[in-house]
A and B are shown apart, each in its own frame.
Chain A
Amino acid sequence: MSWNDTEPMVSIRDVYKSFGTLEVLKGISLDVMKGEVICIIGPSGSGKSTLIRCINGLNDIQAGSILVEGQEVNDPELDKLELRKKVGMVFQQYNLFPHKTALENVMMAPIRVLKHDKEIAKKAAIELLCKVGLEDKEKAYPGEMSGGQQQRVAIARSLAMNPDVILFDEVTAALDPETVNEVLLTIKRLAEDGMTCILVTHEMGFAREVADHIYFTDGGLIVEHGNPKNFFENAKDPRTKEFLSQIL
């Protein structure tokens, strides 16, 4: 499967997903080009988190197709481990490994999964921790760090795998307002460096400032989408307008 930069990096077509009898995604389509920052917003239960978890294969889909760099995710013969080297993910609950220090958390996957040399991985990990502003927290354990710090380590951990696209699943929802900014700043810097990011978020200010494209989902469908300027100022669909009026 060859893929070049002119095609979308992530291409989602008519995706349907149900949990048992509950249908959560009812035909979603969207494209993400390389280097773009996409924000998906919407009320809870609209399927946002489910959608991005489908992109890296944590959830499977019943119908439709998801192409990541030309590779079909829905293919039963897909090597999920290979996919996950290309697609990174940062979770709402940070999910750091509590029994490893921050440095070890970041180093572990490159050494175990990518089989990198230990010393090289260690140096790269230290650089990444500096990049997210936590160079003095190398030897700290997750239990000794605040939520915001843990989330930044989680971002560094994802970056260590050198992915082509990173998924962010409501990563600031569990943080208190002061620490939210630390994390958003880190993501903004990533975006400026050219990383393709897909975010599910409630942070409208961030979306307006950083995103290239915004999608609004409700009831498992994409109701409206557009670039931030058009979206926030000239929303057309009544549902979108209602949602925005509640949030803003």
Chain B
Amino acid sequence: MKCHPYKTDLPVMLPYKPIETENFGSTIKLWYAVPIVALILGTSAIAQSGSDIRLGAVQTLMRWMPLLLQGFIFNVLISVMAMAIGTGLGAALGIGQLSLNRLVRSSSWLLTQFFRNAPWLVLLFFAMFLLPFEVNIFGIIVPLPDWVKATIGLALPVMANVSEIIRGAVLSLPSGQWEAAESLAYSRRQTLWLIILPQCLKRMLPPWMNLYAILTMATVLASIVGVSEVMTLTGEALAAEGGRPDLLAPFYAFVLLIFFVYCYPIARLTVRLERKFSVIN
């Protein structure tokens, strides 16, 4: 029998698409938070049995809620600032990775890899301990309080990830775009700024938003290095209530709840955007 050594014309496997399935849906199902709320109420009910001298756990939680929410707003503030700084630095680093200059390219790549492979907590410690407590800029002394150092510490991994996102997005464009630009006599810089990057912006948005969600959740790490945010305040509240063990579950569950309510809609939006953009592309 004649043997034809060409490859089959039908794909052996479908191309891999990192898109979520219909099962999840892109609607915001906030009722997913119900288990946490149930957990809060349930654990406080169980613990309540026996003593009615002390306030029930839920009432205690209500008392502290305003303070905890304030703390959470501080977390959000840190996340926004760290995102801004990180994105700015990361953009520079990302474009550096695309440079034609070998030195710039390899040093950008090295920095990106280095900060990507480091755990967020280690970088946080890094920033907290090694940044001075005040800087002298043109004769003006600017104090760097703890939370600013923590913000910078969190901006470092963001920077590395943004750099990777940019590089990934640029690489994902078909090479035809570069060739077309070249044949139209665009310079490298023009190609990058006028053609490639604008197209990449759409592709970069979902992973960038995903990064923001991760960052927001990472802001609680600041509590380990002593910055006063929602986890620290929770710890202080629990201590102020005398370290009652029955309060632990409701309070921690409440913190989980706040983050869930904030981050879950972002995650859903990211999925929706990803789906929309992949259809267009």
Our verdict on whether A and B bind, yes or no, reads: yes
Which residues of A are in contact with B by a Cβ distance under 8 Å?
93-94, 98, 133, 142-143, 145-150, 174, 176, 178-179, 182
Contacts of A149 in B (CB 8 A): 3-4
Q: Is B10 an interface residue when CB atoms closer than 8 A count as contact?
A: yes
Cβ B10 vs Cβ A93 within 8 A: yes
Contacts of A142 in B (CB 8 A): 8, 12
Can you list 30 A-B pairs, Cβ within 8 angstroms, ordered by A? A93-B10, A94-B8, A94-B10, A98-B12, A98-B13, A133-B1, A142-B8, A142-B12, A143-B7, A143-B8, A143-B12, A145-B8, A146-B3, A146-B5, A146-B6, A146-B8, A147-B8, A147-B9, A147-B10, A148-B4, A149-B3, A149-B4, A150-B8, A174-B9, A174-B10, A176-B9, A178-B2, A178-B4, A179-B4, A182-B1
Output the residue of B1, B8, B9 with the most chain A CB within 10 A.
B8
Contacts of A176 in B (CB 8 A): 9
Which residues of B are in contact with A by a Cβ distance under 8 Å?
1-10, 12-13
Whole-angstrom distance from the CB of B4 to the nearest CB of chain A? 4
Complex: how many Å from CA A230 to CA B12? 41
Complex: how many Å from CA A147 to CA B12? 11
Judged by DSSP, the binding face of B is loop
Contacts of B10 in A (CB 8 A): 93-94, 147, 174
Total of A-B residue pairs, C-beta within 8 Å: 32
Contacts of B6 in A (CB 8 A): 146
Contacts of A143 in B (CB 8 A): 7-8, 12
Whole-angstrom distance from the CB of B2 to the nearest CB of chain A? 7
Complex: how many Å from CA A143 to CA B102? 39
Contacts of B7 in A (CB 8 A): 143, 146
Cβ B4 vs Cβ A146 within 8 A: yes
Contacts of A98 in B (CB 8 A): 12-13
Complex: how many Å from CA A133 to CA B9? 21
Complex: how many Å from CA A182 to CA B3? 10
Complex: how many Å from CA A179 to CA B2? 9
Contacts of B4 in A (CB 8 A): 146, 148-149, 178-179
Contacts of B2 in A (CB 8 A): 178
Whole-angstrom distance from the CB of A154 to the nearest CB of chain B? 12
Complex: how many Å from CA A176 to CA B9? 10
Whole-angstrom distance from the CB of B11 to the nearest CB of chain A? 9
Whole-angstrom distance from the CB of B9 to the nearest CB of chain A? 6
Complex: how many Å from CA A98 to CA B1? 23
Whole-angstrom distance from the CB of B238 to the nearest CB of chain A? 53
Complex: how many Å from CA A165 to CA B1? 27
Whole-angstrom distance from the CB of B111 to the nearest CB of chain A? 39
Complex: how many Å from CA A146 to CA B4? 6
Complex: how many Å from CA A146 to CA B6? 6
Nearest chain-A residue to B8 (Cβ)?
A: A147
Kindly list 20 other residue pairs between chains A and B, CB separation below 8 angstroms, not including A146-B6, A147-B9, A148-B4. Answer: A93-B10, A94-B10, A98-B12, A133-B1, A142-B8, A142-B12, A145-B8, A146-B3, A146-B4, A146-B5, A146-B7, A147-B10, A149-B4, A150-B8, A174-B9, A176-B9, A178-B2, A178-B4, A179-B4, A182-B1
Complex: how many Å from CA A149 to CA B6? 11
Contacts of B13 in A (CB 8 A): 98
Nearest chain-A residue to B6 (Cβ)?
A: A146
Whole-angstrom distance from the CB of B5 to the nearest CB of chain A? 7
Whole-angstrom distance from the CB of B7 to the nearest CB of chain A? 7
